[in-house]
Amino acid sequence: MDTSMRKLSPWDLVALLGVVTAFVATWSVFEQLPDPLPIHFDMHGQPNGWMPKAIGAWGLPAFSFVLWLIMRFLPSMLPKSDKKRLTAGSVPLVAMITALFTSAVHIVVLYVALTPKADVIRIVFTLVALMFIALGLVMPRLRRNPIMGIRTPWTLTSDENWARTHRIAGYSMVLGGVLAGACAFVGGIFCAVGGIIAIVISTLIPAVWSLVYARRADQN
């Protein structure tokens, strides 16, 4: 049995460090947190969703850890034909990026709960920008698989379509992250609207490209 994907890598240690940091941060400020805990905010940064403190404070770190476990080890359970397409380097890297992002968002929630006037929208979009830039750099390294990447009917049935689509995704996601970061720097309502538009478009571009390329391939 191939165990290369199950061995812990430096990326795994970084991911676990991020999750542990989220748990430690929660433990250190738990008594000072309001009850209920604000966990969702509108486009102006005002809270519009709350959760009981015990669930809101510990739920996201737990979710972050479970999500990391699924993303990290589910690929090792795939059929051999799919598993060999996922390299032992790309899986831990994508799982780490996801774990760090969710852990960082949780720490932001704690910070905003203790600092009500904090600019939560600017902080969150800065995190989103960093995540999209990181994922954009990883996208071209992914090979065709049923779990990670831009999964459309056309990328999942063609190695060439997958490779070209993920090359486009690398550029579009990095650019989307940079634009979202610029919106976060400007701040205000422009941060929320501009950041959302940049992220949505950067995600749609590779999906649309996969269809366009498939049609070109059919015509040829």
152-189, pLDDT tens digit by residue? 999 988 889 999 999 999 999 999 999 988 887 777 67
First-last CA distance in the chain: 41
Write out the DSSP string of the chain: ---GGGS--HHHHHHHHHHHHHHHHHHHHGGGS-SSEEEEE-TTS-EEEEE-HHHHHHHHHHHHHHHHHHHHHGGGGS-HHHHTTS-TTHHHHHHHHHHHHHHHHHHHHHHHHH-TTS-HHHHHHHHHHHHHHHHHHHGGGPPS-SSSS---TTTTT-HHHHHHHHHHHHHHHHHHHHHHHHHHHH-HHHHHHHHHHHHHHHHHHHHHHHHHHHHHHHH-
83-128, pLDDT tens digit by residue? 666 665 688 889 999 999 999 999 999 998 888 777 888 888 889 9
Give the domain ranges of the chain: 1-117, 119-220
User: pTM higher than 0.75 for the full model?
Assistant: yes
